[in-house]
Amino acid sequence: MVGLGREELDQEQMRLYDLITGGPRAGDQGASPIVDGKGRLAGPFGPMLLSPAIGEPLQELGAAIRYRSTLPPRLREGAILMVAAKEVSGFEWSAHHALARAAGLTEAELAEIEAGGIPAGSTGEEHALFEMALQLVHGGDMDDSRYQELAAATSEKALFELCTLVGYYQTLALVMRLFSIY
């Protein structure tokens, strides 16, 4: 089922397929393909078709994180790659590498992220948020004083959006691991 093309889908699956391929992700098709040469959904999107009732809100959450959050693109793409590096998610790394470059991350900064670090070029609020993302990716809890420092350096809205981003991409990594999507 995960490898089905559009012509093999039932009505619910076809609706979800069309939401994914016709939504805002369609604009990223060159840098981050969502459909393979046979018309099958790539990466975590194929498994979403197994349960459209879950797949639809999950893909909608991803679209909200990518296209409607207030996180700057450089931070957003860097944090996605932090998850991809930690989870050894080759699909997410390759899907977001070009997007991260377009968002302003250099190859040297991408290498730092891949090695488990924070981009050296980040400062101020961006650095604080990258630090938080790295802590979340590695499962670290945040004590109250550190939370207050981060909230003072940015906003609680940004902290919430970043936490949601990390959790979403960890979920995708888990799905792809289960279905051997590398």
Give the pLDDT confidence score for residue 28 in this predicted structure.
72
The confidence band for 6, taking pLDDT boundaries of 50, 70 and 90, is confident
Contacts of 159 (CB under 8 A, 6+ apart): 129, 132, 147, 150, 151
The CATH code of the domain that includes 95 is 1.20.1290.10
Tell me the average pLDDT across 131-155.
Answer: 90
Tell me the average pLDDT across 142-161.
Answer: 90
Asked if the structure places residue 20 within a domain, the reply is yes
Residues 21, 95 share a domain: no
38-47, 138-147, 172-181: least confident range: 138-147
- Provide the residue range defining the domain that includes 126: 73-174
Q: pTM of the prediction?
A: 0.93
Asked if the structure places residue 182 within a domain, the reply is no
For residue 103, how many other CB atoms are within 10 A of its CB? 15
Burial of 95 (0-12, 13-18, 19+ CB in 10 A): buried
Domain count of the fold of the chain: 2
Residues 89 and 170: beta-carbon distance below 8 Å: no
Residues 117, 57 share a domain: no
pLDDT above 80 for 32? no
Residues 63, 79 share a domain: no
Cα–Cα distance between 89 and 74 in angstroms, integer? Answer: 19
Give the pLDDT confidence score for residue 7 in this predicted structure.
85
Q: Domain ends where: 15, 40, 67?
A: 67
Give the pLDDT confidence score for residue 124 in this predicted structure.
92
DSSP assignments along 112-128, one per residue: HHHTT---TT--HHHHH
Buried-state track 117-136, b at ≥16 Cβ within 10 A, e below 16: ebbeebeeebbbbbbbbbeb
* AA letter at 121: G
**Percentage of residues in the chain with pLDDT exceeding 90?**
77
